[in-house]
Amino acid sequence: MNTNERKLTHHSHFQYHMKHGIPVQVYELGCHIDIGLITAVDAYFVELEGTLYNRGTFTFISRPGY
């Protein structure tokens, strides 16, 4: 992971990415699943352009400039 790619762990990270339109890459068990913009977030789920991902199951990586 380079310096521009950071793991999103706190609710404020997800809100910041949603507010500023910063793409997020989704991984499950180390495998790339999806990449896109966050359209909604709560304490348990992240929505990327219509698809819900459980925050406890998936890993979310910041992808600015994608």
Residue the block writes with tokens 């991984």: 27
Which residues does the chain have with pLDDT short of 70?
1-5
Residue the block writes with tokens 């789920």: 45
Q: Each residue of 33-50: pLDDT tens digit?
A: 999 999 999 999 999 999
* 3-class SS of residue 13: helix
**Mean pLDDT of all residues in the chain?**
92
For position 64, what pLDDT does the model report? 85
- The residue count of the chain comes to 66
For position 4, what pLDDT does the model report? 55
